[in-house]
Amino acid sequence: MSDQQKRLQMALDAAHMSIWDSRIVDGQVIDGTVSWSARGAALLGLEEKALTQAFRDFLACVHADDRARVLDVLQDGVQRHGGYDIQYRVIWPDGSEHWLAARAQVFTGASGQPERTLGIIWDITERTRQEIMIAERKELAEVTLSSIGDAVITTDPHGKTRYLNRMAEQLTGWTSQLAQGLDIWDTMPLADEQTGATLEHVAVKCLHQRQTIGTSAHTNLVTRDGRQVAIEDSAAPIWSRDGEILGAVVVFRDVSHERKLSQQLSWQATHDHLTGLINRRHFEQLVAGALHTAKEQGHVHALLYLDLDQFKIINDTCGHSAGDLLLQLLAKLLQSQMRDSDILARLGGDELGVLLPHCPMEHARQVGEQLRQSIRDFHFAWDSRSYELGVSIGMVEINQDSKSLSELLIAADQACYLAKEQGRNRIHVYQEADVMLAQRRGEMLWIARLKEAFEQQYFRLYAMPIVHLREGLESHDEVLLRIRNSKGDLILPGAFIPAAERYDMMISIDRWVIRAVCAHIQSVRDSLAPVEALVEQRRRAPALYSINLSGMSLADSGLQDYITEQFVQYAIAPEQVCFEITETAVIANLPKAQVFMHHLKALGCRFSLDDFGAGFSSFGYLKALPVDYLKIDGVFVRDIATNAINRAMVKAINEVGHVMGLKTVAEYVEDEATLAIIRELGVDYAQGHAVGNLRPLVAGLD
């Protein structure tokens, strides 16, 4: 072997290559032979020694899927008198698959006919596997990016767009092909949700700061056709192995629905759902802000409390629907009488609040008088009847001398109370001397009224049906307390319960109700003849009565024994009594409440958690309480036909309640539309005018 041949062989060995030498017969590759060096034979998985074989035998070593292509490429090279470059698979005798690459030149004889191909051949199995793996990973990545729910855009180190997945194409309006090479702020413009101002792009910030930029809120994507879509976006750098930034990947998603829901929930947290006015909590925050400016900057504002006269009469006579409509009409009427800067709020029930910023008392009096006169002139028509209203207004100045928010609110409330005491439908401006006067009058008045109610038996029990929406045989009533005074006026709990709580009279009232209900159950049972009682018992389960308990009673250690005594005295089955407790009352007395409830549950009593859903901690506390019924707060039920958020809340509470094995009750079911939705959602019971009206529990005592 010459030196030149040796050097060639050394080079081939170093490159793991071998000589590819084939003979051609009559211009046909298929009829020729192939000569292999020892290294070349090893590339086929054969014994490592020199070998000459028929081309057909070599072709049998080629993967079946590649044979036709190998023969076509080689034959084409021969016919062109040129050469070829090809990659293909061979199957070794042990069944393993290997990739080979070959490059050869065609040589002709004296006659000009192709006689031989000569070239090199080498194993590319490992490289090909790596390429296949990389291609598969790339394909997997692209398929994954294309199919995930989030939108993804990648950029180069200069913020030029490289790739958009399918979701990004849908959101931006750009195709990946059209967007390639464009600045990211062209393909994905960002604007502030509130101001509309152009924002620094999250991808650009990521590339400049060389770090991940977390999710941002209040960001809008401006689409290719100019629409704005609420998004949450974040960006992360793409690093090379040597620590260089190759670009950025931006991940974003459409949060239009979530942001709209959040805005609606935020609105609901600060507004009264019925009237659209701001609610008490937000109103008090605004008053606190006004107080701050008064103290810090010397500004003067006015605070008004309005209590509607005669509203309760309309509400009781015509029903909640009439009362709701009246409040909505009055809200619009009063807002039309006020400046844009003035603030009108519903504080609860028939109470309204007004904040007049930067308003001296002289002008505040004029505004108050205008509001009073507008309400006085307003006539409310319902069922062919017309009703007149009045309003008692308490007014207080917010100035540098005002002490605190709580004292301001108390002062306005007391001034309103004195306006009512002085004959209603008038304005009373708060004076320092009003504090003790109002407190003393209020205490004496309510103590006397409640004592009189006990002594003269003015307390009355009413029943509000709780109707099962699928089974009609069950009788279940919530027992409600009223006072019928000597003048024949019916006083609602909202008027006397706060006073009773303030002066520690709630325990006595709760005990009176428990005893009266037990006496009623006994009287109903004793009024039936034995045969009638047996028929009634077989026809339906014994009537169930729900009794409301205050937080004070839950904390009363003697109440358990008192209830047991009444059951024994009146021979009452505990299964006929259900105690209704509010979430706030339970939370305030949780350890005692749990002991109390478990004790009475053991006797057979049932428990209902009232106004459920008003607190955000409801589900957490629910697991710790042995309740049977879940009464969904009426604030979510009453406008469920028109409010998608409230419908979702009722649906969620109902489903969780059922998962926990509880029966659910919807309050304030006032019309057929609401009732239909409650049925559709699968709520067990309904309570409200759509299924039953309030009635005296004891006939003849209305």
DSSP string of 186-203? HHS-EEETTT-PBPPPHH
pLDDT value, residue 617: 47
Tell me the pLDDT band of 555, cut-offs 50, 70 and 90: confident
Question: Which is higher by pLDDT, 265 or 127?
Answer: 127
- Average pLDDT of the segment spanning 183-196: 91
426 contact partners, CB below 8 Å, separation of at least 6: 372, 392, 393, 419
Q: Ranked by mean pLDDT, which of 257-266, 292-301, 548-557 comes out on top?
A: 292-301
Helix/strand/coil percent split, the chain, to 5: 45, 30, 30
pLDDT value, residue 10: 57
As given in the structure block, the two tokens for residue 151 are 């939108």
Q: Using one digit for the tens of pLDDT, what is the confidence trace for 339-361?
A: 888 999 999 888 999 999 999 99
Say if residues 195 and 218 touch (Cβ distance below 8 Å): no
- Residue 135 burial by CB count (10 A; 0-12/13-18/19+): exposed, middle or buried? exposed
As given in the structure block, the two tokens for residue 305 are 């409390």
Q: What does residue 167 show for φ and ψ, rounded to 5 degrees?
A: -65, -40
Question: Which is higher by pLDDT, 436 or 283?
Answer: 283
DSSP 543: P
Separation CA 87–CA 361 (nearest Å): 96
SS (H, E, C) 473-511: CCCEEEEEEEEECCCCCEECHHHHHHHHHHCCCHHHHHH
Nearest residue to 360 (alpha-carbon basis) of 294, 302, 289, 306: 302
Return the SS3 of 154.
Answer: strand
- Residue 245 burial by CB count (10 A; 0-12/13-18/19+): exposed, middle or buried? middle
Return the SS3 of 541.
Answer: coil
Separation CA 478–CA 312 (nearest Å): 21
One-letter identity of residue 102: A
pLDDT value, residue 220: 92
Percent of the chain with pLDDT over 90: 46
For 107, 423, 544, the CA distances from 695, given in Å and listed in that order, are: 114, 32, 16
Q: Using one digit for the tens of pLDDT, what is the confidence trace for 291-308?
A: 999 999 989 999 999 998
DSSP 542: P
Say if residues 454 and 460 touch (Cβ distance below 8 Å): no
Tell me the pLDDT band of 530, cut-offs 50, 70 and 90: low
Say if residues 203 and 193 touch (Cβ distance below 8 Å): no
Task: State how beta strands 685-686 and 629-632 pair.
Answer: unpaired
Q: Using one digit for the tens of pLDDT, what is the confidence trace for 80-99?
A: 988 889 999 999 999 999 99
Listed range (41-55, 304-318, 656-670) with the worst mean pLDDT? 304-318
Say if residues 53 and 89 touch (Cβ distance below 8 Å): no
- Average pLDDT of the segment spanning 147-153: 80
**Torsion angle in degrees (nearest 10) through CA of 155, 161, 167, 169:** 180
Q: What is the DSSP string of 27-52?
A: TEEEEEEEEE-HHHHHHTTS-SS-EE
Return the SS3 of 96.
Answer: coil
The alpha helices in 66-155, defined as continuous H runs, are 67-79, 125-147
- Average pLDDT of the segment spanning 457-469: 93
pLDDT value, residue 52: 92
pLDDT over threshold 80, residue 219: yes
pLDDT value, residue 309: 84
391 contact partners, CB below 8 Å, separation of at least 6: 306, 307, 308, 309, 371, 372, 375, 376, 425
Task: Mark residue 634 as left, alpha or beta (left: phi above 0; alpha: psi -120 to 50; beta: remaining).
Answer: alpha
Say if residues 227 and 142 touch (Cβ distance below 8 Å): no
Separation CA 103–CA 85 (nearest Å): 4
Nearest residue to 121 (alpha-carbon basis) of 43, 31, 234, 203: 43
pLDDT over threshold 90, residue 461: yes
As given in the structure block, the two tokens for residue 159 are 């913020």
CA-atom Rg of the chain in angstroms: 43
Q: Using one digit for the tens of pLDDT, what is the confidence trace for 421-452?
A: 788 889 999 886 655 555 555 555 777 788 88
The domains located in the chain, with CATH, are 3-124 (3.30.450.20), 148-254 (3.30.450.20), 267-432 (3.30.70.270), 452-696 (3.20.20.450)
Q: Ranked by mean pLDDT, which of 369-383, 480-494, 521-535 comes out on top?
A: 369-383
**605, containing H or E segment:** none
pLDDT value, residue 193: 86
Nearest residue to 35 (alpha-carbon basis) of 93, 113, 121, 153: 121
Say if residues 324 and 267 touch (Cβ distance below 8 Å): no
Tokens 């009246």 label which residue?
Answer: 326
502 contact partners, CB below 8 Å, separation of at least 6: 446
As given in the structure block, the two tokens for residue 317 are 């006579």
pLDDT value, residue 37: 85
Other Cβ atoms within 10 Å of 156 Cβ, number? 16
Q: What does residue 105 show for φ and ψ, rounded to 5 degrees?
A: -120, 145
Percent of the chain with pLDDT over 70: 90
Task: State how beta strands 459-465 and 390-398 pair.
Answer: unpaired
pLDDT value, residue 407: 85
pLDDT value, residue 481: 93
Tell me the pLDDT band of 12, cut-offs 50, 70 and 90: low
Tell me the pLDDT band of 120, cut-offs 50, 70 and 90: confident
Average pLDDT, the chain: 86
pLDDT value, residue 700: 45
- Residue 634 burial by CB count (10 A; 0-12/13-18/19+): exposed, middle or buried? buried
DSSP 575: G
423 contact partners, CB below 8 Å, separation of at least 6: none
Say if residues 168 and 199 touch (Cβ distance below 8 Å): no
Q: Using one digit for the tens of pLDDT, what is the confidence trace for 665-689?
A: 999 999 999 999 999 999 999 999 9
Question: Which is higher by pLDDT, 242 or 519?
Answer: 519
- Average pLDDT of the segment spanning 607-621: 70
Max distance between CA atoms of the chain, in angstroms, equals 139
